[in-house]
Copies of this chain bind each other. A is one copy, B any other.
């Protein structure tokens, strides 16, 4: 129940209709009797910078969730960025420090990696292939680097996008082997689809699944359906896999911790969320 003591987590993006966070965070806050809410706020690009200033001047704002199309601009507006957000060149969470300065972070990749760890996937020394070097792919690549993978192969249709990410990874992780990858998943411990392919029925598969070995773990970021065509192919070839919303439910505890809320588990969040698979 919202009252004058409710703390706000503005969820800033445009358009707002597809926002998922309110339906996960808010039932969890209610279940824990925490007087806080995630509030969707539709903000157009021209208004974003000034609105962010207004929002963080509010006395009852605890932090903000930033989504499309503002993640890249957000990274340029905060006072400091985590390594992951620096590599991704984007942030999707902002918190205000006690001195009033703003810190930006990015937990998509952490959510992906936490999900893998919970499934027993060994990342130290692993060879990984990430297809898609946009916001979420960059974040996943950064988190895989932080988790100790040995080789990171990156694929993107846009070579410049891939090269920018490669350079940022090499700067922060000089011992990591960063390689220009392909859609061939052969020989990897882990392959991850971080492209939008799989949202629509007519989409091509992001990898050549005929070359997918059963020992390769397959990660997916598409959340529109639980079993995307890629995951269906992976499953039929005997691969272990991770669905898109696993990343989502794994990352939310990291956001909650970033904003200073008590510890949450993905199981608790799934149990109360009105967004489900």
Q: Which 8 A-B pairs have the closest CB atoms?
A: A42-B59, A4-B19, A54-B54, A51-B54, A4-B16, A2-B22, A47-B57, A42-B60
Find the B residue at minimum CB distance from A19: B4
Interface positions, chain A 52-100, Cβ under 8 Å from B, are 53-55, 57-60
Residues of B within 8 A of A39 (CB): 2, 6, 8, 37, 39
Residue of B nearest to A5 (CB): B17
Copies of this chain in its oligomeric complex = 2
A276 to B47, CA, bound (A): 39
| Bound form: Cα–Cα A197–B57 in Å | 33
A41 to chain B, nearest CB (A): 5
Q: Which residues on B sit within 8 Å (CB–CB) of A53? A: 50, 54
The reply on A38 being an interface residue by CB < 8 A is: yes
- Write 9 A-B pairs (CB below 8 A) sorted by A numbering: A1-B274, A2-B23, A2-B39, A4-B17, A6-B39, A6-B40, A37-B39, A51-B58, A54-B55
A26 interface contact, C-beta 8 A: yes
Task: From known contacts A15-B59, A51-B58, A53-B50, infer whether A2 and B43 are also in contact, taking CB-CB under 8 Å.
Answer: no
A58 vs B55: C-alpha distance in the bound complex, in angstroms?
Answer: 12
Per-residue contact bits, chain A 117-156, to B (CB 8 Å; 1 contact, 0 not) = 0000000000000000000000000000000000000000
